[in-house]
Amino acid sequence: MKWYHIILYHLILFQSPLLVGEYSPITEQLKPNSITIIGEIHQHPESIKLFQELINGYLKNNKCLTVALEINNNQQPIIEKIMQGRAVASDIEISSIIDQPALRNFINSVAKLKGEGVCLSIITIDSTAENRDVFMAAQLAYLIF
């Protein structure tokens, strides 16, 4: 599978002043075959709303997108079922640090887009490894190299 673009979500803390308005200056900077890191302050639904709007803006150009989530990679089989319409986001085990209804709604909305034929996928890249950041970086490196 060719990965056209990966957005890693939940990796760094980032507080954006852009909560409403035009996002095209940001989405125009998202380039195929690259990784864009977008983080948030956990438990803030407005962060997920911004993330969803960035994705929607990017997808308007009929580009492919892979979204990497900071969810334990043992949940990837459930994510695959969700993307196929055979499960829902409430079936995923998500760390209480990042879990919130807005995140689960986001996952369900991505699956709905996928079901409508949008070139979009979700991968999980987190683990319970001692050095999670190194593990996540290795997961991303594996995908693009």
| pLDDT one digit per residue (tens) for the chain, 145 residues | 344 444 444 333 233 344 344 666 777 777 777 777 777 777 888 888 888 888 888 888 788 888 989 899 999 999 999 999 999 999 999 999 899 999 999 999 999 999 999 999 999 988 887 888 888 888 888 877 6
| Predicted local confidence at residue 14, as pLDDT | 33
| Predicted local confidence at residue 105, as pLDDT | 95
Phi (first) and psi of residue 48, to 5 degrees:
-70, -35
| Tokens 């369900």 belong to residue | 108
| Predicted local confidence at residue 81, as pLDDT | 97
Q: Which among 133, 111, 131 is positioned nearest to 120, based on CA atoms?
A: 111
Residue ranges of domains in the chain: 6-144
E strands, the chain, in order? 6-9, 35-38, 65-72, 120-126
Q: What's the predicted TM-score (pTM) here?
A: 0.78
| Predicted local confidence at residue 13, as pLDDT | 29
3-state secondary structure of 6: strand
Q: Which among 88, 1, 16 is positioned nearest to 52, based on CA atoms?
A: 16
E strands, 10-102, in order? 35-38, 65-72
| Predicted local confidence at residue 22, as pLDDT | 64
| Predicted local confidence at residue 2, as pLDDT | 41
| Predicted local confidence at residue 29, as pLDDT | 73
| Predicted local confidence at residue 93, as pLDDT | 96
Letter for the amino acid at 85?
G
Cα torsion at 111, 37, 35, 81 (round to 10°)?
Answer: -20
Angle between helix axes 101-115 and 76-83 (nearest 10 degrees) is 50
| Predicted local confidence at residue 88, as pLDDT | 95
| Predicted local confidence at residue 42, as pLDDT | 78
